[in-house]
Structure 1
Amino acid sequence: MKIRATARRPASGSGTGKRRRSRNKNKRSSGTRDQRGSLLYQNGYEAGFSTGAAEGTAAGQAGYETAWEGTSIIIPTYNKYGYLKECVNSIREYTPLPYEIIVVDNGSTDGTEAFLRSVAETGRVRYKRLGYNAGFAGAVNQGLMMARGSTVLLLNNDTVVTRNWLGNMLQCLHSDPRIGIVGPVTNFISGDQLVEKKYRNLNEMQRYAAQNNQSDSSRWETAERVTGFCMLFRRDLLDRVGYLDEGYQFGNYEDDDYCLRVGMSGMRLVIARDTFIHHYGNRSIRDFGPAYQEVNERNADFFSEKWPSRDALLTFARGNPELHAKAADFYPSHHMVHGWNGQQYWLQSGLKHPLIVQAGERWAGPSTLLSLRDLRSCVTGNPMTLNEVETAYAAVCGQQGEVAEGQLLRDAEGVCYQIILGARRRWTSDYTLRFWNFVHRPVREWGTWPEAARHAAEGLPLIAAPVLKAPNL
């Protein structure tokens, strides 16, 4: 070694001990250098890791809204491994266009997880396993949060796709920017998407679909409803309309709810009759047995409670062909909201104002949870202090004089409104008032309305935001 070669050799035999001490000294010196090197390496690693983590987080946040040019196919599943495998295999066989598959597993116990691990290794398939049954809406929302495609497709796990299925639907969707959702026809469904079954097995089905699935714009028709077993939309529709409502249990009616919100935003729903896929139908929800009817009735009641005037809302939207609204445009004013991260905002006159509180201060009134996606769709105004918010709230509680911005009114027929930017905004239901915690606010009755309020133009209706149960939306 170099160290021994350059050391002074002792003149006497007693130098052997010295030589050993010299070696030990060199070892200690070497060890010290190693320790210093290790420390420098560790410090450099930690600094690099911290910098890399910060840069990675910033890049991830910056790229969160950057869409990948392809279709994110979201499949919620629960204990139907055989159907799921058949569905995934059919996508692989009949989808030459760019796509990714996102499977959200509602806590299956039948081997689904092992299958998902195996297909994830081959690419194009990502999955998220939930430790509970979040239902159709809950699972779809998790998939929507994961989706990176410029278009998104919701697909039941008990479907078998066919030749040209995705290409035909994409062609329909991109033919008109006013088209919000496109759905195919199938053999097992309620409503206008049902067609007569003309085959006895899947081989015959694929031959039938190959004949049917010839792109033909004359076979695209506007509809009031597209069912959630297969619905295609652009990514930006999610930014406008938001997530599915998780107030619907397990399945049924959450797709009707979503379609209604899409229609109210000014977008069209279209059935592409030049696209057929096979649907076994209700395979997961049948596992509920007799409880299925109870769940279905509960969801039907929730839909009716939330949307008692569905037809009137759609008529209003059709009567405004230039309507291009987003979810936040249907939310009330003078109310506190928050995201799952805890940040509170004061909604007022179409803006969200970040709430600034000092140590020991706290907003004592109600606050409503919104998804971060919905919050991003709200235009941000100047921050407001707690004192400013309390002053703004107090201003809407008066019962005399001119009507204040944000004040609640009730007409002679019992319909409630809120004045926002000079327009009368109708509350769509009692449920909506309860959702936003407005039921205990002071209301000016018809007899106290000033003339200006009675003749104010009617603006967009006020609706409830979707119920969210997961803490990460």
Structure 2
Amino acid sequence: MSANTLPSVTIIVVPRERFSHTRESLESIYQYTDYPFQLIYIDGGSPREIRDYLATQAEIQKFTLQRTDYYLSPNQARNLGLNQVSSDYVVFLDNDVIVTPGWLTNLVNCAEETKAAIASPLICQGTPLHTEIHCAGGKSGVREENQGGRRRIIEKIHHQGRKVVDILPQLQRQTTGLAEFHCMLVRREIFDKIGSLDEKLLNTKEHIDLCMQVAQVGGEIYLEPTSLVTYVPGKLQTWADIHYYMLRWSDGWELASLQHLQNKWQLTEDEYFQNKYKRLGWRRNATIIYPLLRKLPLGKFSVRVVGKILRTIDKILNYFIGLNYIFHIKRQRM
């Protein structure tokens, strides 16, 4: 088929949780994508060096760059891009994802041949690249229990943590109940049925919400394992990374997101939500506090004491970062 008869695709790249992997991710898109595409890059408050890099690349590669001088929640950023899309398909891609040759062609082929509303690649995690599975599809939805009238959320990711070499030979194109926003291809017309992405989900479970909405209107989700990408969580290398990460995974954003998801789908506050509420801030503990503790020459008792102090400081600082963000947004909109 000629380029003029191929289904059109727009890739929307949005910030995930840091900025320092921007260059590697963007370069992989242009190096490994052989399918024609338009690109919309949403830059939500990146530091000056990243801002300047993106501006230069937008000129060179002729993609659309939209910047805000404040941080964005993921669905805010995705909707900013989605509002500009008229193509047959839209790809949502996080700014810390590395793609592989043929990734987009295989996703489009999957969607065209199956009429899928969403096509998900095999998503890997970490380094070495493309070796450990993060998500190979899964399950999402609501399970209704007659006893007590409870409605429980279904969330299951397949093969997380397994090695690609062990699992890939077993995988084939198949329907699935779960895709993740690290990378997914979506048929644009599905948004005519479900509306835009829910911006009240500030930082978590947005993919679950989308998958459930798509299923609700009869759309199908497919896993296409011949398309392979890797998201690269890593060290927070700059203050801008730390500052954005603190807001992106703030207690306030996570609590508001979980409560909204629970209310929206009329879900019972069971062990799933109770555990989530108890563990608010676990990502900051894992990414910021624990690595710092490991560097300190402390005994076991001292580690516990210092760790408790650091977690208390983190909670206080996190609260004020969230509060400052609210004030900043209000000033921007005046």
- Of 182, 185, 191, which residue of structure 1 is paired with 2:122? 185
For residues 350-369 of structure 1, the aligned pairs below 5 Å read none
Q: Are 2:200 and 1:247 aligned?
A: yes
Of Structure 1 and Structure 2, which has the larger fraction of its residues in helix?
2
Q: Are 2:220 and 1:268 aligned?
A: yes
Q: What stretches of structure 2 of length at least 5 have no aligned partner? A: 126-133, 136-155, 269-329
Instruction: Summarize deviations over 1:61-114 as a string: whole Å, max 9, x none.
Output: xxxxxx994311101127844311111110111111101221111112242221
Q: What stretches of structure 1 of length at least 5 have no aligned partner? A: 1-66, 200-207, 311-468
What CA RMSD, in Å, does the superposition of the two structures yield over aligned residues? 3.2
Q: Which residue of the partner structure matches residue 137 of structure 1?
A: 75
Supply the distance in 1 between the matched residues of 2:57 and 2:119 (Cα, whole angstroms).
Answer: 28
Contact 1:70/1:97, CA 8 A, preserved across alignment: no
Contact 1:241/1:262, CA 8 A, preserved across alignment: yes
- Of 176, 189, 204, which residue of structure 2 is paired with 1:236? 189
Q: Which residue of the partner structure matches residue 306 of structure 1?
A: 264
Cα distance change of structure 1 residues 176 and 186 upon mapping to structure 2, 3 Å threshold:
closer
Q: Which residue of the partner structure matches residue 295 of structure 1?
A: 253
Cα distance change of structure 1 residues 176 and 229 upon mapping to structure 2, 3 Å threshold:
same
Shift of 1:154: 0.1
Contact 2:40/2:63, CA 8 A, preserved across alignment: yes
Supply the distance in 2 between the matched residues of 1:152 and 1:167 (Cα, whole angstroms).
Answer: 13
Structure 1 range deviating more: 190-199 or 267-276 = 190-199
Q: Which residue of the partner structure matches residue 350 of structure 1?
A: none
State TM-score, norm by structure 2. Answer: 0.61
Instruction: Summarize deviations over 1:261-297 as a string: whole Å, max 9, x none.
Output: 1111110111222222111148779821796355323
Supply the distance in 2 between the matched residues of 1:293 and 1:176 (Cα, whole angstroms).
Answer: 40
Supply the distance in 2 between the matched residues of 1:128 and 1:166 (Cα, whole angstroms).
Answer: 23
For residues 35-434 of structure 1, the aligned pairs below 5 Å read 69-77=7-15, 80-177=18-115, 179-188=116-125, 189=134, 191-192=156-157, 194-196=159-161, 198=163, 219-249=172-202, 251-281=203-233, 287-288=245-246, 292-308=250-266
Amino acid at match of 2:103: W
Contact 2:96/2:232, CA 8 A, preserved across alignment: yes
Aligned residue-pair number = 230
Instruction: Summarize deviations over 1:35-63 as a string: whole Å, max 9, x none.
Output: xxxxxxxxxxxxxxxxxxxxxxxxxxxxx
Supply the distance in 1 between the matched residues of 2:110 and 2:261 (Cα, whole angstroms).
Answer: 29
Contact 1:106/1:132, CA 8 A, preserved across alignment: yes
Supply the distance in 2 between the matched residues of 1:97 and 1:291 (Cα, whole angstroms).
Answer: 34
Shift of 1:223: 1.8
Instruction: Summarize deviations over 1:9-46 as a string: whole Å, max 9, x none.
Output: xxxxxxxxxxxxxxxxxxxxxxxxxxxxxxxxxxxxxx
Contact 1:78/1:107, CA 8 A, preserved across alignment: no
Supply the distance in 2 between the matched residues of 1:300 and 1:194 (Cα, whole angstroms).
Answer: 25
Contact 1:120/1:126, CA 8 A, preserved across alignment: yes
Amino acid at match of 1:236: E
Supply the distance in 1 between the matched residues of 2:85 and 2:41 (Cα, whole angstroms).
Answer: 11
Supply the distance in 2 between the matched residues of 1:102 and 1:290 (Cα, whole angstroms).
Answer: 21
Q: Which residue of the partner structure matches residue 305 of structure 2?
A: none
Supply the distance in 2 between the matched residues of 1:80 and 1:291 (Cα, whole angstroms).
Answer: 11
Shift of 1:158: 0.6
| DSSP-derived class of the 1:82 partner | coil
Supply the distance in 1 between the matched residues of 2:230 and 2:17 (Cα, whole angstroms).
Answer: 20
Supply the distance in 2 between the matched residues of 1:132 and 1:259 (Cα, whole angstroms).
Answer: 28
Cα distance change of structure 1 residues 306 and 159 upon mapping to structure 2, 3 Å threshold:
same
Instruction: Summarize deviations over 1:217-242 as a string: whole Å, max 9, x none.
Output: x7122222211111101221222222
Q: Which residue of the partner structure matches residue 385 of structure 1?
A: none
Supply the distance in 2 between the matched residues of 1:291 and 1:192 (Cα, whole angstroms).
Answer: 21
Supply the distance in 2 between the matched residues of 1:274 and 1:291 (Cα, whole angstroms).
Answer: 32
Shift of 1:132: 2.2
Contact 2:18/2:245, CA 8 A, preserved across alignment: no
Question: Highest relative contact order (Cα 8 Å, sep 6+), 1 or 2?
Answer: 2
Cα distance change of structure 1 residues 193 and 117 upon mapping to structure 2, 3 Å threshold:
farther
Contact 2:87/2:188, CA 8 A, preserved across alignment: yes
Q: Which residue of the partner structure matches residue 17 of structure 1?
A: none
